[in-house]
Each structure stands twice: as C-alpha cells, then as structure tokens.
Amino acid sequence: MCRFFVPLALALTAFTGSHALAQPQGMGTAAPMAPPPGVLLPLAAPLLPPVAPGSAAVPPLTLAGAIRTALDNNPEIQVARREIEAAQGERIQAGVFPNPTLTAQMEDPRRDSRTNTVLLSQPFELGGQRAARIEASERALDVARVQLEARQVALRASVTAAFFVTLTTQDRVALAQSSLELAARGSLAASNRVRAGKVSPLEETRARVAEAGVRLELVQAQGELQTQRQQLGALLGRPALDQTLDGNALTMPGLPSVQDVEARLPGAPATREAQLQVQRFAALANVERARRIPDITVTAGGQRDQTLGRNQAIVGISIPLPIFDTNRGNIAAAVSRRYQAEDQAAATALQLRSDAATARQRYANALAEVETLQRDILPGALTAFNAATTGFELGKFAFLDVLDAQRTLLLARAQYLRALAEAHRAVTDIDRLLGDPALSSGLSLSNP
C-alpha cells in the first residue's frame, strides 16, 4: 500500500521545491519561522514569452527604458508639446505693435479740379495694454509647460504601475503553472490509488476538480497577462510589446516620508499649474483694465489741390470717447475668474494633501499585509501543507485534507502578490500627485 502513497507524496512535496515559496532554514514541519526583516519570500520565476524561431533575442525591457520609450513615443506627450508651441506663437503675437494704415483719396476725378490726399495713420496703445498682453501670454506659456510636466509625471506613474502589475501577473502565471503541475500529479496519484482499490473514487473526483480549478486559474492569469502587456505597449506607443520585462515585483517599493511629502507639495505639477493659472487670470484682468484707456491714432500726410496748384500737409489725431463702453463688464468677468482661480488653487492644495495621505495609508495597509503574510501566514500554510502531505503518506489524513492545505497555500501566495501590487500602486500614485525630480533633471533614471 505504501507504494501508492509515495508517488502522490513526491508530487505534492515537489511544490515545496523550485515552484514553491522558499522555506526558511530548518523549518520542516516545525513551527513557522518569520523571514528576516525586509526580506521578501520569493515566488516562482516569471513566465517569459517564447522567442520566435530564427529571430534574434530582444533585450529585456527595464523600467527606466520603458519610461524613456513612453516619454519619446506616447501621443499624449506630443499633444502637450504642441500646446507649448501654440502658446509660444501666442506670446510672439502678444508683443507685436499695431499696423499702420495707409489711406489714398481722390476728390473730383477731373484732372484740372481733382484733389489727391495721402494719409498714414498709426494707432498707439495706451495704459500698458501691450505689456499686460505679454504678461498674460507668458503665464499661459508657463501653464503649458507645467501641463507637459504633469503629463510626463502621470505617464511615468502609469508606466511604472503597468510595469509592476505585469511583473506581478507574470509571477501569478508561473504560480498557476507550478500549481497545475502539482494538481496533475496529484490527480494521477489519486487515480492510481483508486485503481488499486485503496481509496474511494470520490478522492479521484476531488483531485480532478481541483486540477480543473487550477487550470482555469492559469487560463485567467495568461489572459490577464496578455491584456496587461497590451496596455503597457499602448503606454509605450507600440502596437504590441515584444520584450520581456526585467524587474522584480517582489520587493517593497520605498515610500517618501511625511516630511518629504510636505516638502514636495508646493512643487507638485497640479499646485504649480493652479498658481500659474492665478497669475494668468490676474494678467488678463490687467489687460481688461488697460483697455479702459482708449487708444489714440496719429495721422500724417499730404494733399495736392490741382485747382489751387499747391500742396498741403495734413496732421491729425483721433481719440475714441469712452462714453458708452468703458469695458466694465469684461473687467468684472476677468476679476471674478481670477478669484475663481485662487479658490481652485486652494482646493487643489487640499485635495493633493488628502490624496497623498490616502495613498500613504494604502501603502501602510499593504505593508502590514505583506509583513503578516511573510511572518505568519505563508510559513504556516507551507508547514500545514507539508504536514498534510506527510500525514497522507502515512495514511493518517484524507486526500481532502491535502487539497485544503494546498488551496490555503495558493490563496496565501495570491494574496501576497495582490498586497505587493497594491503597495506599488500606492507609491506610483504618490509620484503621480507630487511629481518626480527625475523629470525635472533630464530624466536621469537608474535601472531599478
């Protein structure tokens, strides 16, 4: 009878080898031991997509390389750059002077009695209108530049999040593959025992159901991995991602301290954009105030009177009278928009601080979950699995006990991956909110 227990025991214990979580030194079936602080329990090696026969191997894609590729090729970045070009054109236009006007008149087309007049008129803007326009256009250019930086920061965070989610899903696929191999071996061992008449056919049915569930998990994980690779490729400006990912999703990302967050809040792209919008609307209000003062038009020219046979100089000045239109409505609207921008800036600062605190709390929750899984749940689940395997080999436990222990271990490892993914998302959300100094220094990113 023992010869029927041995294949199943070997198949189940194989999960604790190259495909399982690393077991602490000397654990065996003794009480679970927590890993050293800061050390994460490794999972199975990530699944790498096959290389087409006859094609050269494509170098793996690092996070830094993915970010650079996205910043160079993503269409949204190009859209923001076009907006800067448009704002630069508006800045040029804001500084030009009004064009002069050349007027030619002829009175009485008869040659002996006609009068020819030529006038050159030049408008002059008063009240500092040109300077106010230049100031408003420069603030609009600054807003466009900050919006480009904000899009770069958001794209960097999106690529980072997609990169680590894809890495995590690769680990999930590898986990499902090792679990499927384990379940298939268990089904074979149970089938052999049924044919030998040692156990009920119900045990084989349970093993087959467990194998089908793991197979479904593998299919789902592979589909999700393909979807996430497509999403990451779209962020990089590619129709498809044909590279493997070089990175480790099983390391907890670093989190900026509270003091660091507070120091970065004033320089966050959203904060700077809101403040620049206040300055821009203030400059637009100054433009409308300057328009209360009417422009003057100076005219100079000459007139030739054929009847009198003489030339006459003409000099004139034209000043509109601000009797009905004093631009009061435009001034009131511009001032209200300035106050609105100030209120929006205050609301943006509060929202940023709240969102950053929420992201920090999400990270703290994920960190606590990861530490608990490392210290207690994963070692305990592995110990229970080893004990169930040994007990089944000795005939003390039913196969259902082994399946329960296996399911518990797989669920714990899946929860471990989800907690790590949540920690990465929390950190990338903070970078999305507060910006990243690397973008302001020429994207001097290091290979993670």
The 10s digit of each residue's pLDDT in 222-280 is: 898 899 899 898 888 887 787 888 877 777 888 888 888 888 888 899 999 999 999 99
Does residue 102 surpass a pLDDT of 90?
yes
Structure tokens at 22: 């690393």
The 10s digit of each residue's pLDDT in 44-81 is: 433 344 444 434 467 888 888 888 988 888 888 889 99
Structure tokens at 61: 């894609």
Given this model, what pLDDT does residue 286 score? 93
User: What separation in angstroms does the CA of 340 have from each of 146, 156, 282, 345?
Assistant: 20, 30, 11, 9
Distance between CA atoms of 224 and 239, rounded to whole angstroms? 17
| Nearest CA among 366, 412, 405 for reference residue 389 | 405
Instruction: Please give the average per-residue pLDDT across 82-97, as a whole number.
Output: 94
Distance between CA atoms of 63 and 437, rounded to whole angstroms? 16
Given this model, what pLDDT does residue 28 score? 33
Question: Which residues are CB-contacts of 77 (< 8 A; sequence separation ≥ 6)?
Answer: 70, 71, 148, 151, 152, 155
Q: Where are the beta strands (DSSP E) in 221-365?
A: 296-305, 310-318
DSSP letters spanning 104-144: EEEE--STTT-EEEEEEEEEE--TTHHHHHHHHHHHHHHHH
Question: Which residues are CB-contacts of 370 (< 8 A; sequence separation ≥ 6)?
Answer: 40, 252, 416, 419, 420, 423
Which domains are present in the chain?
2-21+60-440 (1.20.1600.10)
Distance between CA atoms of 325 and 162, rounded to whole angstroms? 57
Cα 434 versus chain centre, distance: 12
**Contact present, 166 and 225 (Cβ < 8 Å):** yes
Does residue 40 surpass a pLDDT of 70?
no
Cα 6 versus chain centre, distance: 51
Given this model, what pLDDT does residue 121 score? 94
Distance between CA atoms of 147 and 279, rounded to whole angstroms? 15
Which helix (H) or strand (E) covers residue 411, if one does?
A: helix 399-434
